[in-house]
Amino acid sequence: MDIRFSGASVRYGERTVLQPLTLSLTERRIGIIGLNGSGKTTFARLINGLVKPTTGTVTVNGLDTVEDASATLAEAGFIFQNPQHQIIMPIVHEDIAFGLKNCGLKADEIERRTAAVLERFGIAHLAKRRVHELSGGETQLVAIASVLVTGPGILILDEPTNQLDLKNRRLVENTIAGLGEHTIVISHDLPLIERFDRVILFHDGRLVADGPASESIRAYHAVAGC
Ligand SMILES: Nc1ncnc2c1ncn2[C@@H]1O[C@H](COP(=O)(O)OP(=O)(O)O)[C@@H](O)[C@H]1O
Ligand SMILES: [Mg+2]
């Protein structure tokens, strides 16, 4: 993975919500922390082109997120803060197959890959269930499966364990910890983030710490004042 921010900033009207950033992301597990409104989601959305930089550029494996928007999306999958918003089809199996149909694959290949990803995430028993009847943790796993089935090497997750009870939280945390893909996770779940290779702290639209998890988490406590 090679994600590069070169002087990238984001402004809405008069307000700069992300100050110019120049950095490169290569580690396998990267955590993003910070108070509400500090710019975390904006930072993540720059990576998959959902937000365009007001100044500077962002590239993913050499692809410009604005110039090569659709190629970028194939490299980096995104799980939204509320995964219900990205589930398109009513039945689990159909939702996972949906992304593959868009890739123009043949029916038997779609079936093979869908079955493989259901198996990989331990959700084969949910294949015929209605998505809106699943628990929060199960919905999160279906969203992850639906994104990873098309084979992006990078997965970005925006507060994936936020609305989950303890049991579902553990299930999703363990799934994220076991992913072979490069992962960038925005989270307030410090026990999850603590295990990551690199943690970046945002405060008021500025990057204020970037380094080992323990150091950035300490800086987070300092800016939060607790
Ligand atoms: N589309 C938008 N228009 C105007 N302001 C926005 C928009 N998106 C985000 N913001 C503002 O940018 C700041 C950072 O937001 P965000 O990146 O969502 O923070 P976080 O994910 O850390 O909570 C917030 O003050 C938010 O209100
Ligand atoms: Mg956010």
Q: What is the pLDDT of residues 28-73, one digit of tens each?
A: 999 999 999 999 999 999 999 999 999 999 999 999 999 999 999 9
Task: Give me 103's structure tokens.
Answer: 């890739």
Share of the chain above pLDDT 90, in %: 91
Euclidean distance between CA atoms 222 and 159, whole angstroms: 21
Residue whose Cα lies nearest atom 26 of ligand 1: it is 37
DSSP 171: H
Q: Tens digits of per-residue pLDDT, 74-117? A: 999 999 988 888 899 999 999 999 989 888 889 999 999 999 99
Euclidean distance between CA atoms 28 and 41, whole angstroms: 19
DSSP E strands in the chain: the ranges are 3-12, 15-25, 29-34, 55-60, 63-64, 76-79, 154-158, 182-186, 198-203, 206-211
Handedness of CA 111, 131, 84, 89 (dihedral sign): positive
| Averaged pLDDT, 150-178 | 93
pLDDT at 102: 81
- Distance, CA 21 to ligand 1 centroid (Å)? 16
Task: Give me 100's structure tokens.
Answer: 């593959």
Contact between 41 and 48 under an 8 Å Cβ cutoff? The reply is no
Residue whose Cα lies nearest atom 11 of ligand 1: it is 17
Tell me if 17 CB under 6 Å of ligand 1. Answer: yes
Q: Reduced to 3 states, what is the DSSP secondary structure of residue 106?
A: coil
Tell me if 39 CB under 6 Å of ligand 1. Answer: yes
DSSP 3: E
Q: What is the pTM of this model?
A: 0.95
DSSP 28: S
Q: Reduced to 3 states, what is the DSSP secondary structure of residue 163?
A: coil
Task: Give me 61's structure tokens.
Answer: 């494996």
Euclidean distance between CA atoms 142 and 147, whole angstroms: 9
Share of the chain above pLDDT 70, in %: 100
In the Cβ-directed half-sphere of 6, how many Cα atoms lie within 13 Å? Answer: 10
Q: Tens digits of per-residue pLDDT, 166-215? A: 999 999 999 999 999 999 999 999 999 999 999 999 999 999 999 999 99
**Which one, of 40, 28, 31, lies nearest residue 1 by Cα?**
28
Ligand 1 atom closest to Cα of residue 43: 17
Amino acid identity at 151: G
Residue whose Cα lies nearest atom 5 of ligand 1: it is 12
